[in-house]
């Protein structure tokens, strides 16, 4: 059984950045400051309320839920163990990936755009279930749960049905955890928002998980010129492996001169910024040709602004879009990404390195240093 039971996984980054809460909500006495290393801490798991399908791991699962107050920064994959009485779309035994939560009731959710949920902040960062309870407790006191709709650095994740994406059982569960956020974001920006025609050109700024996902997606839909821009040669090397036809090191090369050379002076049709650095966003805008589309997906620091030249913008007829989580409906989009992976068109396994739970802090360190793009903790 141990050999055949899929392991649950949790990725240790959120859209390419560590998003550990700097301070936990005051009610959660058992939370640690974010500067402290992660530690395993047994807590009690409550029963599911309606619409709450918990999932558990296989034979490698540790005996108790782990540190959920600090745990919510991941997305994960796993096997459903129990479902709430109102759950209709998920069954015990289903293999699932967890994605961001959404309310399912607001205008945008009902219009097929759940990543723009009007109640998204509470769903993702409220650390409670809709009835005000949490999924975990310790010594009789509530411990925050459902961070990013998940709190999944734990043996059990107790989540809303809206966070759950059922996937094929023949897909390797130990690999699928990262699909719920960064990969979804980069691929969705290309496939759901840009929708580039075959033979068009795209430039992607930033080579983290989001940027790499975008490069892979652009290659999957046959963009003919796929340009990766970063300041690290090792990242650019990987970008080429994942589908970039050209790369530019913007710290050592003249970005716009290189772009002109690559495109034969025609500029690019599509640009994606994953950096949220205003000067880079401006570079991305300037890289576009007439009727070009720039998509920005990075989470910028408060107050970060970018300016564009109005006159030339008008005559260029270009589009600037901000996009959250790839504008995806996760239950539709993530299975599509898995299908692309099966066909070798979305080789995100090249980004993943697996760690044991005991080595979770090493995973965080490797992510922060850039040594690993997608650290995955296998239980
Ligand atoms: Zn909503």
Which comes out higher in pLDDT, residue 378 or 253? Answer: 253
Cβ burial, residue 346 (10 Å; 0-12/13-18/19+): buried
Q: What's the gap in Å between 46 CA and the centre of ligand 1?
A: 25
The answer to which of 7-16, 145-154, 212-221 has the lowest mean pLDDT is 7-16
Asked if residue 157 lies in contact with residue 76, where contact means CB atoms within 8 angstroms, the answer is yes
Q: What's the gap in Å between 163 CA and the centre of ligand 1?
A: 12
Say what the pLDDT of residue 48 is: 58
pLDDT band at 33 (very low <50, low <70, confident <90, very high): low
Distance CA 72, CA 7 (A): 19
**Bridge-partner residues for 291, per DSSP?**
none
Tens of pLDDT along 122-179?
A: 888 888 777 788 887 788 887 877 777 777 777 788 888 899 999 999 999 989 989 9
Question: What is the side-by-side order of every strand in the sheet holding 225-230?
Answer: 246-249, 225-230, 201-205, 268-273, 288-296, 319-322
Q: What's the gap in Å between 327 CA and the centre of ligand 1?
A: 13
Q: What's the gap in Å between 100 CA and the centre of ligand 1?
A: 11
The CATH code of the domain at 186-324 is 3.40.50.720
The ranges assigned to domains in the chain are 9-180+347-378, 186-324
This prediction has a pTM of: 0.83
Q: What's the gap in Å between 272 CA and the centre of ligand 1?
A: 26
Q: What's the gap in Å between 71 CA and the centre of ligand 1?
A: 24
Query: Has residue 187 got a pLDDT over 80?
Result: yes
The CATH code of the domain at 9-180+347-378 is 3.90.180.10
Equal fold, 9-180+347-378 vs 186-324: no
Q: What's the gap in Å between 277 CA and the centre of ligand 1?
A: 29
Tens of pLDDT along 90-102?
A: 999 999 999 999 9
Q: What is the DSSP string of 337-363?
A: HHHHHHTTSS-GGGGEEEEEGGGHHHH
Tens of pLDDT along 226-266?
A: 999 999 999 999 999 999 999 999 999 999 999 999 999 99
Distance CA 291, CA 269 (A): 7
Q: What's the gap in Å between 160 CA and the centre of ligand 1?
A: 13
Q: What's the gap in Å between 107 CA and the centre of ligand 1?
A: 7
Please give the DSSP secondary-structure letter assigned to residue 193.
I
């Amino acid at each position: 059984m141990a050999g055949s039971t899929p392991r649950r996984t949790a990725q240790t980054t959120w859209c390419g950045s560590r998003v550990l809460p700097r301070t936990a909500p005051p009610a959660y006495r058992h939370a640690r400051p974010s500067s402290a290393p992660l530690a395993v801490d047994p807590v009690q798991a409550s029963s599911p309320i309606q619409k709450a399908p918990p999932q558990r791991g296989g034979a490698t699962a540790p005996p108790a839920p782990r540190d959920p107050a600090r745990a919510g920064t991941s997305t994960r994959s796993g096997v459903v163990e129990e479902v709430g009485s109102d759950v209709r779309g998920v069954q015990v035994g289903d293999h699932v990936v967890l994605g961001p939560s959404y309310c399912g009731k607001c205008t945008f959710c009902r219009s097929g755009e759940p990543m723009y949920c009007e109640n998204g902040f509470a769903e993702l960062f409220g650390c409670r279930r809709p009835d005000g309870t949490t999924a975990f407790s310790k010594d009789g006191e509530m411990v925050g749960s459902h961070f990013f709709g998940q709190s999944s650095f734990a043996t059990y994740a107790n989540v809303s049905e809206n966070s759950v994406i059922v996937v094929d059982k023949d897909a390797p569960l130990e690999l699928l955890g990262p699909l719920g956020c960064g990969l979804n974001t980069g691929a969705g920006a290309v496939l759901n928002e840009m929708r580039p025609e075959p033979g068009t050109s795209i430039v992607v700024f930033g080579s983290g998980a989001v940027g790499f996902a975008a490069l892979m997606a652009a290659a999957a839909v046959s963009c003919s010129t796929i340009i990766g821009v970063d300041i690290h040669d090792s990242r650019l090397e990987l970008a080429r492996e994942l589908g970039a036809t050209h790369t530019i090191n913007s710290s050592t090369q003249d970005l716009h001169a290189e772009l002109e050379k690559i495109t034969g002076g025609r500029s690019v049709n599509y640009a994606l910024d994953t950096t949220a650095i205003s000067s880079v966003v401006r570079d991305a805008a300037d890289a576009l040709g007439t009727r070009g589309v720039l998509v920005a997906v990075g989470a910028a620091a408060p107050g970060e602004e970018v300016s564009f030249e109005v006159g030339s913008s008008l005559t260029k007829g270009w589009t600037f879009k901000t996009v959250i989580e790839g504008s995806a409906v996760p239950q539709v989009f993530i299975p599509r990404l898995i299908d692309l992976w099966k066909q070798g068109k979305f080789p995100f396994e090249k980004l993943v390195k697996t760690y044991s739970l005991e080595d979770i802090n090493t995973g965080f360190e490797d992510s922060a240093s850039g040594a690993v793009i997608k650290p995955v903790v296998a239980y």
